[in-house]
Amino acid sequence: MKTFNELNLVAPVQRALANANYSVPTPIQAQTIPDALQGRDILGSAQTGTGKTAAFALPVLNRLGQRNEKVERNRPLALVLAPTRELAIQIERSFATYGKGLRLRQALVYGGVSQVRQVRMLDRGAHIVVATPGRLLDLMNQGFIDLSRLEILVLDEVDRMLDMGFLPDLKRIISHLPARRQSLFFSATLPPKIVELADGLLRNPVRVNIAPESPCVERIDQQIVFVERSGKMNLLREIVQKDPASRVMVFTRTKRGANAVAQQLERGGVRAVAIHGDKSQHARQKALAAFGRNHVQVLVATDVASRGIDIDGVSHVVNYDLPVDPECYVHRIGRTGRAGDEGTAVSFCSEAERRELYAIERFIGQSLTGGQTPPPSVRSSSQRPRRSYSRAAGPRGAGRRSGYSGGGSSNPSKRKRRPGKYARQRG
């Protein structure tokens, strides 16, 4: 499949795709949509930002749109489960965009807010329900959702759902579904426990694995900056202020860290806002909207927020702290370089974080430092990377305040083209 036109989708969906300027399907779309349209089950693995949402939304919309029939109250025909509220909201928005012009009703169901509106939408009858598992179960238990008519089940970011401990909820939900249904599972990674879950739930699925070294990540210029903790804020300010038009997502390890970074940026005159699990749903939405509309330049987030956020035009991702879980690195940097754009991911690495850096390099199967990160256990003083730390004047760091040495890009062509984008002048 080379274009969406070949798919014979219902006319309103074709129009919606044309309006969104989608002409060429992404690899995950090209390899799953034709089979999903035939009614096959799918087990798809692809990173965030590769067009997974349309890969499941288009077959669902096409199937229900073709029939164009009324739906019974509280008895949805399609259910999409996602791990976080933010992702659920985005998925619902995508369904609304791709399904504009179809007479299908949707309901969005997630926790942390009053259920009144959600119950009302379900009572009116919704063809498609997009939900997080906890609140969905709550509403099922209260009798507001009956899944006996369900035709299509979509699980998005299955790996994340399992990481977040949703497996028992998922099993309970799935036990209420009719055996005859179409199931579409998507996950960024496919560890054995997910394959096992899928084996029990999918019927002869089409398996599609879009390798992590997909063009999406190749478009991201990945840079490592060796800098001690005390130097990180100055370096971040430098990156942000260098280009006032940049839109920067910063990741910290802790919620407190996220708040502190946002506050320090604000104090320095940079518009910044933090989102993490301790913020109310309203505050999170407000922050995302402010960032989306360019009212703030920097969004500081913890990993909970790193998945599923789809904001166009994020030019830089900064890993203020390296993630402990190397998989999170891939999810974090996937916030930039989306939908054909180029992006830059700058990771700050302090002496204490070298272990994490090494784990990331092993996980992605690629050196981010030109082979200068030996495993922590075998490093001796004579093998130390030649890069400079802010507190240790290395050979190239002499006379320089900061650790950004202008290198560390994993992409050689970019390294040549943009030497030392944030490098300080030699003093």
Residues that bind ligand AMP (CB under 6 A): 22, 24-26, 29, 48-54, 310, 312, 338-339
- Shortest distance (Å) from residue 331 CB to ligand AMP: 12
Residue 326 backbone dihedrals phi, psi, to 5 degrees: -60, -25
**C-alpha to C-alpha distances, 79 to 88, 150, 173, 197, 206, nearest whole angstrom:** 11, 7, 10, 18, 20
Minimum CB distance to ligand AMP smaller for 86 or for 221: 86
**Which DSSP symbol is given to 339?**
T
Minimum CB distance to ligand AMP smaller for 16 or for 122: 16
Q: What letters, b where the CB count within 10 A reaches 16 and e where it falls short, cover 284-319?
A: bbebbeebbeeebbbbbbbbbbbbbbbbeebbbbbb
Handedness of CA 23, 27, 29, 30 (dihedral sign): positive
- Shortest distance (Å) from residue 160 CB to ligand AMP: 13
Strand order through the sheet with 220-226: 220-226, 343-349, 316-319, 248-251, 298-301, 272-275
Minimum CB distance to ligand AMP smaller for 27 or for 125: 27
- Shortest distance (Å) from residue 94 CB to ligand AMP: 7
- Shortest distance (Å) from residue 411 CB to ligand AMP: 21
Cα–Cα distance for residue pair 319/347, rounded to 1 Å: 4
CB atoms inside a 10 Å sphere around CB 229 = 15
- Shortest distance (Å) from residue 82 CB to ligand AMP: 11
Please answer whether residues 284 and 354 qualify as being in contact, where contact means their C-beta atoms are separated by less than 8 angstroms. no
Minimum CB distance to ligand AMP smaller for 72 or for 213: 213
Minimum CB distance to ligand AMP smaller for 87 or for 122: 87
Cα–Cα distance for residue pair 115/140, rounded to 1 Å: 12
Minimum CB distance to ligand AMP smaller for 167 or for 304: 304
Minimum CB distance to ligand AMP smaller for 50 or for 390: 50
- Shortest distance (Å) from residue 340 CB to ligand AMP: 7
- Shortest distance (Å) from residue 30 CB to ligand AMP: 9
| Percent of the chain as helix, strand, coil, to the nearest 5 | 40, 15, 45
Cα–Cα distance for residue pair 98/305, rounded to 1 Å: 24
Please answer whether residues 72 and 147 qualify as being in contact, where contact means their C-beta atoms are separated by less than 8 angstroms. no
Minimum CB distance to ligand AMP smaller for 303 or for 361: 303
Residue type, 136: L
- Shortest distance (Å) from residue 51 CB to ligand AMP: 3
